[in-house]
Chain A
């Protein structure tokens, strides 16, 4: 065993330097040169101010904004420094109560919403930070958003449809809409830099 000590210790140290310092620093160096925005968190910048990441969702509850997935981060929803799912089991009464409450909130905000509600709008995401909702979940919110903003439903629906992301190669992933980018577009800030628009619910 004594003869094994030197190789063990020297190789452990040398491989730490190689795999733990040289390798990640090389990846960082290349990443920061080739994809600086993506390596830094895909920030959305409006008027020179970072106002979120296109990959990380934000909480919305004003009737004039599209709402995202329920978030299980606690106590602040969409806490991007403490990602978390609910880990509620499928038969847990607490899950059923939460879903019931979320459905009631959606229907109270829009009495015309009487049909079935897309599942992703009433269930917590895995990360608590899901940036997307399904296209269906966006479409059922169109009447509420249009009414709150005094816009025509058709133009809000068009906005949703232009922002739809289809499955990659028609195969991978699901049809979806990025909620933060959609709401920025609604405010007119995400498309061409028009700022200072009214922010309902604030």
Chain B
């Protein structure tokens, strides 16, 4: 890893940490319904929304009502998105006249966006109308993020309240999170992106002249669009001279802003943030990178504010940063080192004053190996899943990093809301383990951890890995699962393992060679996303309800301090140990064996 690469990583972390504190404090004010500065503008909108929907903002819910509201809201969102994709052919703002999305792909995509996953079995510019993108996909980017944050805030209230029966009001938390946090940040960020060259227009795709026409060989098609074959059964080809290029456009900036801020990650275009119209400059890349980790980092400090002990928020943030830095350094080093198999062919992969060098297959020159590897780490540490380079073409160890970060359970920053509530499940397990090891009372933030909380936390931690491993096993055991891989050998297995790791942990990035738009993958990955999201959210709310009812126990001699470096180490150890025990065998069959094969081939 070069010094310049280290400097990029440091600059990135410095910006995140500098912004996290003021934003974290602001978000605490939003969720505690205290004035935060935007009330004169957005207050009337908020009150209007409550009035038309019949919500009494002072009405508190117990955890079961809160969970029901969350599920009903998400179901309604899923239905709206499903309908929009089925009907897009007959609706306006569809200048390319794209037809209805097929039902199974629609099923998968609607779950994908409602669960904050944004796994994409389709190509945006070829499948989704402008209306579907902005009124369907982008809206779910807002709502899934807001509902993730709402569940987190309910859990924080569980820790903060004493002998209470309620954890807040889901409608109020969702509306306030959307209006006061996501909307203003997105508006500013979207405009910053346009200033860099991200497109934002409703005009149809534009045809421009090529400077040098290009001749390609294409299969000849008959009137029905089927390939014509000659007497021997070989496809007939013809030479075609192409003199124009069609530029796909659309209202992209407004969607990309929330896609990054809400840890959604679904690209407007097929290649996501590698597309020059989604991510045109190194500066837009840096801003998008900051946006990926910004809210998950700041929410740690929101926790500290809301439980009136800021050190607790910093301790959890420290654990996340520690894991992140190790993975980022490893990934940048792997991608900068390049592919030894290509060096032998006579290419120059060394970083120098005239080139970024490194493993450039599937990467853009303006980003190079450093910004690409840094992005791969951030997008999988957070459950964002947008990509600015093709992970499928990373070196074996470079590709192991994003895979492992998802398998850790999306708790190193993780999704907005979901990352921190997942991490708090690990905190519960960590204090329990400390209790077993050194005889401390298992408690956190003054609340005693009982067997109910432990059971629920175990569910949160174990459901995603079970779905990942069962799904992968099913796919490799069936012809339909195996047929979709694009690369041979161990790398093909990695493509499948990556897909289920991504879906069940609601990340959404892919080893994109896998042809996911098949009935098998649309269905199985759709279910994986559903279980990974809701079978963790409901147990978290159950913990929230159970904790809220408990009394505050004053810290005693047997209390383990949870703001110390020692606890940070314990927490990091718990997170990494669970992931290693669960996934090392699977990783050994994929990226690790491919790395060894590559070294053998390069000798």
If A19-B183, A123-B361 touch, whether A90 touches B354 (CB-CB below 8 Å) is: no
Q: Which residue of B lies closest to A137 (CB)?
A: B355
Contact with A along B273-304 (1 / 0, CB 8 A): 01111001111011000000000000000000
User: A residues within 8 A CB of B249?
Assistant: 40-41
Task: List the A side residues contacting B363 at CB < 8 Å.
Answer: 123, 125-126
Within 8 A of A (CB), among B150-189: 171, 174-175, 178, 183, 186-187
- The answer to whether B183 touches A118 (Cβ under 8 A) is no
How many A-B pairs have beta carbons closer than 8 Å: the answer is 399
In the complex the two chains form, is A55's CB within 8 Å of B277's CB? yes
By a CB distance below 8 angstroms, the chain B residues around A99 are 342, 345, 347
CB pair A11–B211 under 8 Å, yes or no, is no
Q: Is A52's CB under 8 angstroms from B388's CB?
A: no
Given A99-B342, A100-B345; A38-B360 close (CB under 8 Å):
no
Q: Are B361 and A130 in contact (CB under 8 A)?
A: no
Residues on A with beta carbons closer than 8 Å to the beta carbon of B347: 99, 103, 116-119, 122
Q: How far is the CB of B43 from chain A (nearest CB, A)?
A: 15
**CB within 8 Å for A90 and B285 given contacts A6-B53, A52-B211, A130-B364:** no
> Contacts A40-B201, A116-B346 given: A7-B355 contact, CB under 8 Å?
no
For residue B100, CB closer than 8 A to chain A, the reply is: no
Q: Does B601 contact A (CB under 8 A)?
A: yes
Tell yes or no: B27 within 8 A of A by CB.
no
Known contacts A125-B365, A173-B285, A175-B353; is A19 also within 8 Å of B491 by CB?
no
CA gap between A61 and B211 in the complex, in Å:
11
Within 8 A of B (CB), among A104-128: 115-120, 122-128
Chain B contributes a number of interface residues (CB within 8 A of A) equal to 136
Known: A19-B139, A91-B491. A7 touches B54 (CB 8 A): yes
Contact call A92/B136, Cβ cutoff below 8 A? no
User: Are A15 and B178 in contact, with the CB atoms below 8 A?
Assistant: yes
Given contacts A28-B254, A89-B491, whether A12 and B361 have CB atoms under 8 Å apart is no
Decide: B346 and A117 in contact? CB cutoff 8 A: yes
Give the interface segment out of B190-198, B316-324, B423-431, B473-481.
B190-198
B167 CB to nearest A CB, Å: 15
Q: Check A24 against B246 for contact (C-beta < 8 Å).
A: no
On whether the beta carbons of B367 and A21 are closer than 8 Å, the reply is no
- Inter-chain contact A82/B126, CB cutoff 8 Å: yes
Q: Known contacts being A7-B69, A11-B171, A87-B513, is A24 close to B367, with CB within 8 Å? A: no
**What residues of A have a CB within 8 angstroms of the CB of B353 in the complex?**
135, 175
The complex places the Cα of A84 from the Cα of B11 at a distance, in Å, of: 31
Nearest-neighbor residue (CB-CB) of B277 within chain A = A55
Q: Does B413 contact A (CB under 8 A)?
A: no
Q: Does B517 contact A (CB under 8 A)?
A: no
Residue of A nearest to B353 (CB): A175
Stretch of B71-79, B561-569, B570-578 on the interface side: B71-79
Contacts of A132 in B (CB 8 A): 364-366
- Interfacial chain B residues near A137, Cβ < 8 Å: 355
A77 interface residue per 8 A CB criterion: yes
Interchain CA distance A12-B70 in the complex, whole Å: 12
Supplied contacts A55-B277, A126-B388, A173-B282, 4 more A-B pairs, CB within 8 Å: A26-B187, A83-B270, A85-B392, A87-B390
List, sorted by A's number, 16 A–B pairs whose CB atoms are closer than 8 Å.
Answer: A31-B190, A38-B195, A50-B206, A50-B209, A51-B209, A56-B277, A61-B214, A80-B246, A80-B247, A86-B390, A89-B513, A119-B342, A123-B362, A171-B7, A172-B282, A174-B366
